[in-house]
Structure 1
Amino acid sequence: MASGRLIKLVVFELLEFAAFSIPTLVIVEQFATAYQGSRNKAEKTHYWLIVSCSIAYVASVSLLIWVPIKVLLYKKRHLSKKIKGWRPVMMMCVVLTTLPSFSFSIAVTEVQKSINGSANNLPDTLPDLPVSLVLTSLIVVDIIEKLRTYPLRGKQKSHEDTRVHATTLQRIKTVTDRVKQNEGNPEPPQPAQRTKAPAAVTRGPAPEQAGPQEPSFQSGVLRAMSQWDVRAEIFLLSFMLWADTVEMVRVAGHQAVYKSAWLYPVYLFSFISLLRIIFTPQNPLLNSLGVLLQDLPFIFVRLGLIIDLGTITPVLGLCKNVLVTVSYVYFNHLTKFRIFSTFELSSF
């Protein structure tokens, strides 16, 4: 009987390969259908030629790139340990699947414009299924790559237990350091002297602010509802992380966008924002890359869309991009200047 680890590996690899290959086939088939509409509809030569090219493309990149890299990462563990800060599997998905899919999505619109003679004769909305399939497949691969280090069976430690354990270790370390310091530098007791408070005190590390007390449930329904597991949170955070990009791509299906030249910057900056998925979740550069690759470009794209076409994109999205960018610049860079460097404790 196959072990659970082997079953997990096979299921994960099949899901990743499906997410890698299916979006390209679906998008190219949509392009073939649109292109066939510009030709003789009774003759299916162009349709099957385009579909066969898409199958050949997926087969080629799978056999020449996907499978060799997968085998290399599985067999050569020492090579995979040397890869730090980025994920080869996500890079292959972004470059070999997402980029061609977005390109053919734009090509479908251009073909429909040439068939109808003008942008005014295009349908009111573009089908949402192909684009949603591309982003969903990319998120699924991201979730699988994060889940590889976790077992799928058994109970994980709760967040409360982990927090208590980390706090206990920190306190033990602090007490130990103080004891060692006192043993290494013994000083005779000195009489207490009354001194004046100095005008300027040397700044030490910022004191930790006490947050609001959180409730703790030990039994009953509330305890069951307060359970927390990192494996379930991976699914939640993975979809929430790309909600802004999903909304931007959805705007591309609006008739006022894909009938105009705004279609190109929307798809371009949406793809650029997806480049963050290549980096590991613990990469220190991920926060700054999120601002540079997503929030900052989306400010200009959304602002231009609102000025030119109206509120087809939510104003809430623009506010989110502005607030995230401003808060990142302020707390990470402006607070280093003297005028913003004074640490204050809230009295509430």
Structure 2
Amino acid sequence: MSRKKTIKDYENLAATRNHEVISVSNKETPSQGDITLLCKTCNKEFTTTTISYQNARKTGCPHCKATSASLYWTGRARTKTPEQAKKNAEIKEHINKTRKEKGKAFANIKNKEDLKEKLTNDLYLPNGEKNAYNDFILKRLNDPVTGKMMEKHHIIPLHAGGPDEKWNLISLTPEDHIEAHNLRYLVYNETGDKNTIKFRNKTPNVTDQISKAKALGNETRRAQGTGIYEPGMSSKAGKIGGSVKSVEKDLKQSTKMTSGVYDALYNGSRWKHTKTNTEIVIPPNTIVKMPQLVEKLIEALPPCEEKTRLAGAKLTTATSALARVIKGKNEGGRSSYFGWSICKE
């Protein structure tokens, strides 16, 4: 059991931060109260909880923190760099293109009656269960609910390729709007619906529903030949996984990479293993994430101790270490990791 902290402990901590303790609200148990201090750096008083002050990453003075932030941004641009702006534009373009492709499935729907027919035809799932979302929407279309506060809901969501047309809209109460996305998430297991529910701050207990949601979504994808059942998908490590890249996610990750790591992944690189004299060339645009590089380096090695150790290393540790190898020892990185070094022409 750790020793109970006293006022003296907080006075000593304050002294190291150039602060002076003025008062403590809970003298019996200081760690459970508030503390008021004088910052001798900015000559201002501030009050915070003792726990917050104790765990502060720097001095804990909000005035000094605000001043430091202001000085940091003085003369600095807060806008995106041209590279980041370009990548964000690529992400947006890809999302719009994906939605347009998905929207082709609904090109034959021209009005509300066509939509009702579509919902009715898809009223039952491949496993024989009723499509709870379609059933809910059909009931609201046939027997509209009125109220003072109504919200517009896209019956076929925009994220699923639905158009922003009058025939694709329905007026729902706020409660029904949340329920609609909840039911659709249960049936189709799409992230867009889940995020909408979270945004409304009324997230259902997904933990209790996840098994049913996955089962229903799995049946739907199996019948439609999409997702993990799309031709060209592969199985690995006992789990069904997709070979189709999440382009949006990859592009977002690339904006956070250092220029060296970005070049090594997207523009290609050559690696050499010292002990086994193994070399591997990573062609441009074949891998886009550091975990993929780790996998390539493991596969390239013949059976040896370092291959076993690399395969058993924690993935975050391996990716971080290889990023430092790419950076180079002269730049504050490292020269190699488990024998692998990058060949810089």
TM normalised by structure 1 equals: 0.22
Q: Which has the higher contact order (CA 8 A, sep 6+)?
A: 1
TM normalised by structure 2 equals: 0.22
User: Which one has a larger percent strand, Structure 1 or Structure 2?
Assistant: 2
User: Which one has a larger percent helix, Structure 1 or Structure 2?
Assistant: 1
